[in-house]
Amino acid sequence: MDEGEALLGRAILVTGAAGFTGAHACRYFAGLGMKVAGLVHNRIPDTSGADAGIRYYSCDLLDSRQLPAIVREAAPDYVLHLGGKNSVPESWDDPLLYMQTNVFSLLSLLEALRPFPDCRVLIAGSRLSVPLAPPYRPPHPYSLSKSLQKAIALSWQALFNQFIMVAEPSNLTGPGPSTGICSLLAQRVARAELGFMDEPFRLSSRFVRRDFLDVRDAVRAYGYLFAYGRSGEEYPVCSGQERSLLEVAEAVQQLAGTRIPLLWGDSDPQPSGGEAKPAEPEFLSRLGWKPLIPFSASLTDVIGYFRGTKGEFQ
């Protein structure tokens, strides 16, 4: 199936449009011929070059006066909600901020969208969310905020019959200012090549395994979900293949041709072979979606991005 034909000429509002995934999403949907409005929290991006034709609005999602006015002006057929915070360490420092940004901002957005019952809303959740049922044991405040976000989104769908879906992407990689593990490793490599002598990069364990997916494949998946997804459903968006952090760290260094000092915590024991099966994007696969960008190519692009920024986030 081709999502492009179903979305051509339709209007989409992307929150978090200046972020890592948001920037890729705006450009991708504009390339499909959609009318793209991007919502940012602070500075409006330069609309020349790759962002030409994208209309940006600066607004706090908690602004109950400005946000509904922007939604009315954009009149979206689709909304991709990417706005929020996603740093586990930061969530420990300021858990209230994470509740406000990831939970209350969603409520504000959904309320602003109530006059648009036909609008299809896709919430970018997290594979780190946990079931909200006893025993309540989220591993960190970020996980709690994303768990509450998913529960609210699907409950709101049931209460108000709005078209709401939840995507649960895995660890996204690719060029851009991501704070994911691949980007942090690539940033250290770029800094090492410039002669910086940073402290050893700390990783939790050689044996932790994670699924990685290029952000450009993820936004294609979001397009498929807009075109063919079902309201009230949650969908894993992932590659279906897991790698250990040791494999990831070695791959970044080998592709860059540069070694950096690493410090392993090994807080987790070596796996015994009874681990849970990796998530599979079954619904998307049935539609014909599959990852197109190999992991090595994605890492190469990440390394190239940070070499271009001289090891800085831009």
Distance CA 18, CA 37 (A): 11
Among residues 182, 212, 191, 208, which one has the least CA distance to residue 264? 208
Q: Find the Cα–Cα–Cα–Cα dihedral 106, 170, 98, 140, rounded to 10°.
A: 140
Q: How many CB atoms lie within 10 A of CB 150?
A: 20
The structure tokens 């509002």 sit at 13
d(CA 232, CA 255) in angstroms, rounded, equals: 41
Residue 19, burial from CB neighbour count under 10 angstroms (0-12, 13-18, 19+): buried
Report the pLDDT value the prediction gives residue 1, as an integer from 0 to 100: 66
- pTM exceeding 0.75: yes
Q: Give CA–CA dist 59/163, Å, rounded.
A: 23
Domains and CATH numbers, the chain: 3-169 (3.40.50.720)
pLDDT at 15: 98
- Give the H/E segment covering residue 38: strand 35-40
Encode the chain (314 residues) as per-residue pLDDT tens digits. 677 788 999 999 999 999 999 999 999 999 999 999 999 988 777 765 566 689 999 999 999 999 999 999 999 999 999 999 988 889 999 999 999 999 999 999 999 999 999 999 999 988 767 666 667 788 899 989 999 999 999 999 999 999 999 999 999 999 999 989 999 999 999 999 999 999 999 998 899 999 999 999 999 999 999 999 999 999 999 999 999 999 999 999 999 999 999 999 865 555 544 444 567 899 999 999 999 999 999 999 999 999 999 888 77
